[in-house]
Amino acid sequence: MSATPPHAYVHLTAGGVSIVLDLTGGRLPAIVHWGAALGDLALADVEALAQANIEPPAGNVVDLPVRLSILPEHHTGWVGKPGIAGHRDGADWSPLFTTTTLTVDGAEHRSGLVAVGAGAVRVAAQDTVADLGLVLDIELLPSGLLRTRAEVTNEGDSFYVLDDLQLAFPVPPQAREILDFAGRWGKERIPQRRELTVGIHEREGRKGRTGPDAATVLSVGVPGFGFGRGEVWGTHVAFSGNHRHYAERLFTGFQVVGGGELLLPGEVRLADGESYETPWVYGAYGDGLDDQAHRFHDYLRSRPTHPRRARPVTINVWEAVYFDHDLARLTDLADRAAKLGVERYVLDDGWFRYRRNDLAGLGDWHVDETVWPNGLHPLVDHVRSLGMEFGLWFEPEMINLDSDLAREHPEWVMATGGRTPVPSRNQQVLNLGIPEAYDHILERMSAILTEYDIAYIKWDHNRDLIDAGTAPHGRAGVHDQTLATYRLMDELKRRFPGLEIESCSSGGARVDLGILERTDRVWVSDCIDPLERQQMNRWTMQLLPPELLGSHIASGISHTTGRYHRLSFRAGTALYGHLGIEWDLATATDDENAQLAVWIDLYKRHRELLHTGTMVRADEIDPTLLVYGAVAADRAEALFFLAYVGRSEVSPRGRFTLPGLDPDRRYRVRPVFAGAPDEGLKPPAWFDVQPPGGRADGLSAGSEVLGVSMTGRALAVVGLQTPASFPDDVVVLSVTAEA
């Protein structure tokens, strides 16, 4: 260890955010400020900030001021959740780390103030008594998004059992309201709010996958914060296995948000020289939820792996044919889809051996010769001849006990306690943490991808990991399983450049930035009911931009809810996302096919704007009306949506506003119709219908709707009168800047 530990401050600032770190006295880095940008700071300014951050002594606590580092330390007097929990045969459970080196963007610093824009900080530390080494990575990304991770290394000659390694960010006292998400299968990411009181609000995911009820982004903000206003500080754990998010308020007034991987007993036992590294834990500050979400979106869009080409219109055949795979029916579906302008065709579950229902076959990744005597070639070749890409469904992490693979290798089924875990979806988990099992699945998937021209995998994961142990000892294996899944995806992408992967997990149960490091979109939910999807898409965008959200037009009667909805609502809801179809087109009427073609054309004309523009969600004036849209980076155009998700107790609802435009530019606002306007739509005067059509309200398929010209400031502050409409419908508004 260095004789002179660093005695320094670091100021990172980017994207309207500042992070000030205190590393004085060789201590682990503490966040002095995380929030709005502070501008240029001198050393004296930072020293004053650090001094102002020291608490006065209070009754019945430790005599020295408690110092909260990014890895909260018990030895300082911190009585909240500790950053590290572990032991060496009962000892070394409260380490005291001393910083040995500090680097900023690769350059070492010993003292003073280091001020940069976006930047990467690495702190190395040691506890020579506990024989532990520690490395902390802290990054402020250009979007203003903060992220950090930790690596602990056993430097002793006996095992160190690591139970937890959690990271935390301080939040100021005015942040007293929590927002995170709950949900279930078919109804993911349901927002929930509560007051932050003394104690801990802890959200644990113990499913071996992210989960439909995951916190996703756990935020604490000033009471009443909304989309457009109110400071908010949030955290997201970028991990697809067991994980933890939490917000904590102590009786001393300290407040933090944080999290990390949730380790099962005995999952991490470090021998001499072995290390464990946490997933990235993200911190997102914003003035309003949209500002916070933009930091995630801007970061994701900046990645070199982010999908750049236009997101192809996709048809998935699941809700059209289910397990009934018939070549004539599937080629007919491809013909119908191609005529509508579909660009990608995905064959879902049921193509492999013994898979006539969900009772058998998982693990046997061979094309079923009884259904496909010539393999998949006739279908793949036909789809490709129509100019569409071909995609295929896999569930590589799962196994049916009724499969050749399970009969040959029962020890590859994840289990503990000498018993078979309780079944779920008639399936068990295939232990990819066993090298031979991993190699087998990699070989089988590679063989399929080599034989056929496959551009896309729908990667499913349909059960929680219960009793997820490893044979023969039964030790917990969720950690290894998650990392093996990551390696499998990474290796397939390496072997097959250009391959795209969709993260599906019983719908939206694996939506996190860990899986997004190697996938190209997520399936938001198995429920495509547009009324449910309005809320689920809206809140999934708190983390992900719309181009990563699989958003399909379903049949008139929803598979999961039994509700009937008009095509205008189904298509208008799906438009703001990565558009697709999940519908037996052979049952669609000529009029429905004509409308569908217009909606697909509308998507193609606007997808660049929808998938690169800034997401805007207006704060609700009425819970039955959702207003949202995409504004181009130069603010020269926008596409907004009015979603009528219920019946208001007042009629009409009054004005709605369009935030996010240039306040000093003038815009033309007009509705966009895909076919004839719905009968339930009653236009306000600002539609300016010329000439009046055949309906009493003047609207008809041939009417020209001129719309209204207003400044961006007036549209954001005053707004426009809401058109009257039946519930369960969407009105699309085109907004274009005028000279």
Per-residue pLDDT tens digits for 72-116: 999 999 999 999 999 999 999 999 999 999 999 999 999 999 999
The tens digit of pLDDT for each residue in 3-25 reads 689 999 999 999 999 999 999 99
Angstrom distance (rounded) from CA 682 to CA 668: 20
Catalytic residues: 460, 526
237, 267, 302: which is the final residue of a domain? 302
pLDDT given for residue 61 in this prediction: 86
C-alpha distances in angstroms, 242 versus 135, 261, 372, 582, 633? 22, 6, 39, 31, 37
SS3 168: strand
pLDDT exceeds 90 at position 697: no
Q: Is residue 585 a part of any domain in this protein? A: no
pLDDT at 698: 75
pLDDT digits (tens, 9 = 90+) for 534-585: 999 999 999 999 999 999 999 999 999 999 999 999 999 999 999 999 999 9
Region 27-56: mean pLDDT is 95
Which residue, 259, 275, 302, sits at the end of a domain? 302
Residue 135 forms part of a structural domain: yes
CATH classification at residue 205: 2.70.98.60
Classify 424 as helix, strand or coil.
strand
pLDDT over 60 (residue 243): yes
What's the domain range around 158? 7-302
| 435-451 vs 478-495: helix crossing angle, rounded to 10 | 30
* 519, HSE (Cβ side, Cα atoms, 13 Å): 28
pLDDT reading at 153 higher than 80: yes
Report the C-alpha gap between 376 and 393 in whole angstroms.
13
Residue 175 falls within a domain, yes or no? yes
Percent of the chain with pLDDT over 70: 99
Say how far apart CA 614 and CA 297 lie, in whole Å: 9
Q: Which residue has the tokens 């990991």?
A: 465
Q: Which of 404, 402, 456, 467 is nearest to 431 (CA)?
A: 467
User: Is 473 within a domain?
Assistant: no
672 falls within a domain: yes
pLDDT of residue 3: 62
Terminal Cα distance for the chain, rounded? 65
Residue ending a domain, among 302, 335, 363, is 302
DSSP string spanning 272-284?
TT-EEEPPPEEEE
Q: Does residue 527 form part of some domain?
A: no
**Encoded tokens for 416:** 């503990």
Two tokens, residue 211: 């989960």
Say whether pLDDT at 1 is over 70: no
Rounded to an integer, what distance in angstroms lies between the CA atom of residue 99 and that of residue 135? Answer: 9
Mean pLDDT score of the chain, rounded to an integer?
Answer: 96
Average pLDDT on 579-598 reads 96
pLDDT at 689 over 50: yes
CATH of the domain at 660: 2.60.40.1180
User: What percent of the chain stands above pLDDT 90?
Assistant: 92
Rounded to an integer, what distance in angstroms lies between the CA atom of residue 595 and that of residue 6?
66
In a domain, 238, yes or no: yes
Domain count within the chain:
2
Amino acid letter for position 148: T
Q: At what angle do helices 590-612 and 567-574 cross, to 10 degrees?
A: 20
Structure tokens at 565: 């909805």
What confidence tens digit (pLDDT) does each residue in 504-538 have?
999 999 999 999 999 999 999 999 999 999 999 99
In a domain, 314, yes or no: no
Average pLDDT over residues 688-714: 86
Centre a 10 Å sphere on the Cβ of residue 472 and count the other Cβ atoms it contains.
9
Q: What is the pLDDT of residues 441-485, one digit of tens each?
A: 999 999 999 999 999 999 999 999 999 999 888 999 999 999 999
Average pLDDT over residues 204-228: 98
Q: Is the pTM of this model over 0.85?
A: yes
pLDDT tops 60 at residue 2: no
For residue 171, the model assigns a pLDDT of 98
- pLDDT tens track for 604-636: 999 999 999 999 999 988 999 999 999 999 999
Residue 681 burial class via C-beta count within 10 angstroms: exposed 0-12, middle 13-18, buried 19 and up: buried
